[in-house]
Chains A and B, each alone.
Chain A
């Protein structure tokens, strides 16, 4: 028996020590919060076992009364620590379901009755340590072990759900071990003259409170016959101490193994967390790349659109390009642009793109009557579908298709605080658009508005140019041809008079002057015709147009011309700049014809790099009489040439001197070719 108590104490001390060592380890695994209670329970429980050993051996008989008091205290303390550990196991590792809050409320009445019953047993004649031990076991050991057992069994269930079967088996073992301990440590108590262990059995006593007599009753009920030490020995042939030793060893074995498992779980969780972190970092990195790529795509698209607008492309072509870009970048099933008609009476489809192709709607009127689009037109606020809309709401959003949209974004086209139309996108799949998609679409709507605005301005400019050109031609005719014709009219009258007077020599002189005047007028007219034709024929390319003009000029004016075009690839000049360059060349050649008396003209066009950017450099050089450069400010033709160059961001330099010929150098900035290159790669 002494050995039994020794090993019983040793088992619990081992349990306490193992828990304490685990507690000193770093880390935060589920059982760690409960380890102080488990370690304390093990150490104090071991002490309780060894106190029993000393009491049984009788070796410390002189202090047996003190040992008995110590035994009561350590048993109470062990029970309390076990109860606290059990509660923590049940409640703290995995939160209990909400309804479990009512369990203490439901149990309050039975608990109160049990406590009261326990209290009343202290006034019976049995020694005080008997009820203390009985109620320590009933009220502390049994619920503590039971709660710990249920806590481990909950862990068993949780680990099984995670598929960790090796861990769950250990949890099952620990749970069953604590339930076994609840029986042998908590339910089996010493015999006493009251229930439930013994009351209905051999020790039943009826106490007469008036006479103080006790009557023993031998009536057996049988249901609780195994609940005291003697009954256990009679029934199993094994004393309760061996059962308790067995329970202590089993509990220690499974709990110590479980402690290692919790550590293994912690390491596994740390590993999983690291993997999750790595995965999250990689995903964030990929998302960053994607976001950067998307931003770059959109930026390039916007630059490309701006370039097309700057190059005065037709607004319809720009709209087609925008719709195509939106279609590709936002992965839409349908893109539509609608503009208010001229009477502002209805919204009409202007351009659309479906999954197959892009179409401009011309010559027919397709009214857009969808209520969502109309709402956007009225409110001027963008609309993003939330996924909760009825499918019918999207009826009339996608044209020339039988499929219905399931997600859509609609943004207004605002021109000077007035809604002139709407741009919208839709998807047939159940794949909603994001707020970011809406922001991108709004930026595209701005581009559409700018394109339309530019189209209107270009149209106005063209009308203005025609008026100005007509005025210029009128002025030219008035200053040139009309003057010559007026002069010829006067000369014919003079010739008539001279003929009547018979002054033949004088007549011959007048005729010579008239021929010279006619030749000058003829040259002006031919040059004007040439310059009009060249300016209008810009689609053939600057180099071809300039060379053709220079050749014609040389033939007509009898001046030797040389043309050198030293540009490889595209000029990368905006169309406006190309026109201005041709006009400057024409103006320079006109000046040469009229004033320079030159025999030879050299024109060169080449690409140069100035200040980190490409420029087109044109030089027109003649070997004429030249002029004094100081007086050039008042020269209208030169001033026009300078203004033309500066209007497209360029500059004009004139070098001349009397008898030294004239050199006019024009420098115009190119558009950046690499951006154009990248944009075409991304979009196609």
Chain B
């Protein structure tokens, strides 16, 4: 992979992170809404939505570096009926616009709660379709290693995994910021985060396990495939073996490290502010692990190497 081709992992990883983060944030909003005032919850999720929207902008901007004619990118939508790439671009735009609408309403029209809720679920729907389109691009018969439903599944697990870590990291940082600024909603933020961290950690561990399982299913499928598939496999277990092992280790270590920190928080009855470093480190490691995974995904198929 040359530097220009890194634009692909940048786009896919960031867009998956944005969609996953929005979905997890909306799930937290839905669950917390039964215990706290929705208006208060909307106030504390407004900053994370801003970051998600910014991430989507960077992802779409980054994708343009992959194009040979970036200024003609809008023409890609014309093939919506026949091209998964066109559908991916269209749904990227729809996800982005719905996210921006939710962002505007949570900042400036806080009373439109039903509209905010509806638009949020719509954004998740657009995001889910976007991830499906993103994965379907690679389901090509000529690319044996990619042409498997496990690719679609792995894209969804990565989306949720990155989303969970991004939201955990953002909420901890936001809580710390509120604490430094001595804002009056620190207690609320603390309670929401404390209630959420257990579920987020369980989901993280489960998704990491699922991700590893999918990877080994893919390896098994490649081993049972034709020469091209076996060649891809040999690249993975020979040239890129250190990266492959590193990815597995990083994902396992990050999830276990997060779980230990969260269990300690519940057991010692400490505040979630103390989770800032463990959550940040786990988020960074899982992000690195998933980027390595995406690198391996592309590197084992693209002829141009480093």
B65 within 8 A of A: no
B229 within 8 A of A: no
Interchain CA distance A183-B287 in the complex, whole Å: 28
Quick check: B173 and A105 within 8 Å, CB to CB? yes
A115 within 8 A of B: yes
B305 within 8 A of A: yes
Given contacts A98-B181, A112-B288, contact A209 B169 (CB under 8 A): no
Q: Which of B177, B302, B305 has the most CB of A within 10 A?
A: B305
B221 within 8 A of A: no
Quick check: B173 and A113 within 8 Å, CB to CB? no
Interchain CA distance A123-B244 in the complex, whole Å: 12
Interchain CA distance A101-B277 in the complex, whole Å: 12
- Interchain nearest-CB distance for B96 vs A (Å): 17
- Interchain nearest-CB distance for B294 vs A (Å): 9
- Interchain nearest-CB distance for B219 vs A (Å): 17
Quick check: A208 and B305 within 8 Å, CB to CB? yes
Scan A92-130; emit 1 where CB is below 8 A from any B CB, else 0. Answer: 000000110110111011011101110111111000000
What residue in chain A is nearest B285 (Cβ atoms)? A112
Collect the chain B residues with CB atoms within 8 Å of residue A196's CB: 3
Q: Report which of B242, B287, B292 forms a contact with A109, defined as CB distance below 8 A.
A: B287
Q: Report which of B6, B239, B303, B306 forms a contact with A113, defined as CB distance below 8 A.
A: B6
Collect the chain A residues with CB atoms within 8 Å of residue B177's CB: 98-99, 101-102
B283 within 8 A of A: yes
Quick check: A207 and B291 within 8 Å, CB to CB? no
Quick check: A105 and B169 within 8 Å, CB to CB? yes
Quick check: A122 and B169 within 8 Å, CB to CB? no
Given contacts A109-B55, A206-B304, A206-B305, contact A116 B173 (CB under 8 A): no
Collect the chain A residues with CB atoms within 8 Å of residue B3's CB: 195-196, 199-200
- Interchain nearest-CB distance for B118 vs A (Å): 29
Given contacts A123-B240, A206-B304, contact A102 B173 (CB under 8 A): yes
- Interchain nearest-CB distance for B197 vs A (Å): 17
Interchain CA distance A102-B174 in the complex, whole Å: 8
Given contacts A122-B242, A210-B303, contact A108 B235 (CB under 8 A): no
A202 within 8 A of B: no
Collect the chain B residues with CB atoms within 8 Å of residue A194's CB: 306
Number of A residues contacting the other chain (C-beta, 8 Å)? 33
- Interchain nearest-CB distance for A120 vs B (Å): 6
Q: Report which of B17, B181, B300, B306 forms a contact with A123, defined as CB distance below 8 A.
A: B306
Given contacts A101-B180, A112-B284, A199-B3, contact A123 B242 (CB under 8 A): yes
Majority secondary structure of chain A interface residues (helix, strand, loop or mixed): helix
Quick check: A108 and B284 within 8 Å, CB to CB? yes
Collect the chain B residues with CB atoms within 8 Å of residue A124's CB: 306
Collect the chain A residues with CB atoms within 8 Å of residue B283's CB: 108
- Interchain nearest-CB distance for B134 vs A (Å): 18
Given contacts A105-B51, A109-B55, contact A209 B284 (CB under 8 A): no
Quick check: B235 and A209 within 8 Å, CB to CB? yes
What residue in chain A is nearest B51 (Cβ atoms)? A105
B66 within 8 A of A: no
B237 within 8 A of A: no
What residue in chain B is nearest A211 (Cβ atoms)? B303
What residue in chain B is nearest A193 (Cβ atoms)? B306
Quick check: A120 and B180 within 8 Å, CB to CB? no
Scan B234-273; emit 1 where CB is below 8 A from any A CB, else 0. Answer: 0100011011001000000000000000000000000000
Interchain CA distance A108-B282 in the complex, whole Å: 11
Collect the chain A residues with CB atoms within 8 Å of residue B299's CB: 120, 209
Interchain CA distance A194-B283 in the complex, whole Å: 27
Quick check: B180 and A98 within 8 Å, CB to CB? yes
Collect the chain A residues with CB atoms within 8 Å of residue B306's CB: 120-121, 123-124, 193-194, 205, 207
What residue in chain B is nearest A98 (Cβ atoms)? B180
Quick check: A209 and B305 within 8 Å, CB to CB? yes
Interchain CA distance A72-B119 in the complex, whole Å: 54
Quick check: B288 and A116 within 8 Å, CB to CB? yes
Collect the chain A residues with CB atoms within 8 Å of residue B242's CB: 122-123
Interchain CA distance A200-B3 in the complex, whole Å: 9
Collect the chain A residues with CB atoms within 8 Å of residue B17's CB: 109
Interchain CA distance A119-B295 in the complex, whole Å: 11
Quick check: B239 and A209 within 8 Å, CB to CB? yes
B190 within 8 A of A: no
Quick check: A101 and B176 within 8 Å, CB to CB? yes
Collect the chain B residues with CB atoms within 8 Å of residue A119's CB: 243, 246, 288, 292
Collect the chain B residues with CB atoms within 8 Å of residue A102's CB: 173, 177
Scan A208-227; emit 1 where CB is below 8 A from any B CB, else 0. Answer: 11100000000000000000
Interchain CA distance A207-B239 in the complex, whole Å: 12
What residue in chain A is nearest B304 (Cβ atoms)? A206
Interchain CA distance A206-B306 in the complex, whole Å: 6
Scan B131-167; emit 1 where CB is below 8 A from any A CB, else 0. Answer: 0000000000000000000000000000000000000
Given contacts A99-B177, A108-B280, A195-B3, contact A209 B291 (CB under 8 A): no
Interchain CA distance A115-B295 in the complex, whole Å: 12
Interchain CA distance A99-B177 in the complex, whole Å: 7
Q: Which of A101, A106, A206 has the most CB of B within 10 A?
A: A101
Quick check: B284 and A111 within 8 Å, CB to CB? yes
Apart from A99-B177, A120-B295, A120-B306, list 6 A-B contacts with CB within 8 A. Answer: A104-B280, A105-B170, A109-B17, A112-B288, A205-B306, A209-B300
Question: Which 3 A-B pairs give the minimum distances between C-beta atoms?
Answer: A207-B305, A112-B287, A116-B291
Question: Can you report 24 residue pairs joining A to B where beta carbons are below 8 Å apart?
Answer: A99-B177, A102-B173, A105-B51, A105-B280, A108-B284, A108-B287, A109-B13, A109-B14, A109-B287, A113-B10, A116-B292, A116-B295, A119-B246, A120-B1, A123-B242, A123-B306, A195-B3, A206-B2, A206-B305, A207-B304, A208-B304, A208-B305, A209-B239, A209-B305
Interfacial residues, chain A to chain B (CB-CB below 8 A): 98-99, 101-102, 104-106, 108-109, 111-113, 115-117, 119-124, 193-196, 199-200, 205-210
